[in-house]
Copies of this chain bind each other. A is one copy, B any other.
Amino acid sequence: MSFDTDKANEKNRGLIDGIVSELCAAAVDSMARLRRKPARHVAPSRVAVLKIMENIRMILFPGYHGPPDLTEETLPYYLGAKLDQTRNLLEDQITRGLCFLCPSDECARLREECIEKASKIVGIFLGFLPEIRRILMTDVQAAYEGDPAAKSPDEAIFCYPGIQAVTNHRIAHELYRLDVPLIPRIISESAHSVTGIDIHPGAVIGERFFMDHGTGIVVGETSVIGSNVRLYQGVTLGALSFPLDASGKPIKGIPRHPVVEDDVIIYSGATILGRITIGKGSVIGGNVWLTQDVPPGSKLTQRKARED
């Protein structure tokens, strides 16, 4: 920034004034189109949500994440302090989420209701943490047992992207079920950006869920996955098509993703679309394109490659 840009700046004089005018006009305009006044409320903060997830990871896996050297005597203090911090941060973020999407013009009056609602939600959510922990431990065990390269369950907790993604999902899913707006999506996207695994917070997933490698896995909003299911990288559980409403827009909330029953394995790159059911114990080969029900115990593979 230390160049002598005098001459150049001379030429650009007025440039910024002009762009600012255009952009202000556009922002007012298009924001109105989106039915929002510019920034009436403080939007949720991605950074705060990341901090919340970091706290929760420490709470769920003490000794692996967060402060080291915990003992039986000191563990409760760290857990309690992190839980309280998490409560405060989460109440604030959920309040922001509720207000951000609130269509009402009577915001001052409704704000108190949002705060109270957020506080109630957080109280319920925190109460789920011990159960979430129990289930995640079954995921860890499944990862250890399912991956011949795994040296110990510790390694899975410590650095398996699949464990990171399913942790975020199980948290996001509970918030989704509590009708929290935006925050669950930010949580699932934060795992997506780090692991390449994209699980919609709405998906229902059973115990002992293992995703190996994981990059490119997509699990849609209305998917239902049983226990002891294993997905490899690049697997899609998606929608085949979706009914449109009168105005040509997709109707929201209709079940449109697969049901995967217990003990199913789906190999890398398989694409499974629509509200179909993959029967218990089936094995789906890599790169398969599947849009129809599969009975329990099936084994599907792609047609053989052709030699040129």
Contacts and interface: CB of A to CB of B under 8 A. Distances in A.
Contact of A4 (B100, B108, B146, B158): B108
Nearest to A289: B302
Given A149-B252, A198-B213, A236-B268, 5 more contacts: A30-B133, A159-B186, A234-B269, A269-B269, A303-B306
Interface residues of A, number: 158
Given A78-B84, A301-B306, A101 B16 contact: no
A53 interface: no
A88 B155 CA distance: 23
A75 B24 contact: yes
Most buried by B among A149, A250, A288: A149
Nearest to A130: B22
Given A43-B158, A154-B36, A193-B195, A14 B268 contact: no
Interface in A249-281: 249-254, 256, 267-269, 271, 273
Given A74-B81, A218-B268, A303-B303, A68 B42 contact: yes
Closest 4 CB pairs of A and B: A77-B80, A8-B119, A39-B63, A271-B286
Given A69-B1, A149-B220, A289-B285, A236 B269 contact: yes
Interface string A21-59: 111101110110010101111111010000000000001
Contacts of A146: 250
B20 A77 contact: yes
A73 B182 contact: no
Contacts of A81: 67, 74, 77-78, 80-81
Contacts of A28: 72
B43 A68 contact: yes
A187 to B, nearest CB: 10
Contacts of A288: 287, 289, 305
A224 interface: no
A304 to B, nearest CB: 8
Given A43-B68, A73-B14, A213 B221 contact: no
Given A68-B43, A148-B252, A269-B269, A196 B181 contact: no
B16 A119 contact: no
A181 to B, nearest CB: 7
Nearest to A14: B73
A109 B306 CA distance: 59
Contacts of A40: 6
B303 A20 contact: no
A39 B70 contact: yes
Most buried by B among A74, A96, A300: A74
A299 B76 CA distance: 57
A257 B239 CA distance: 28
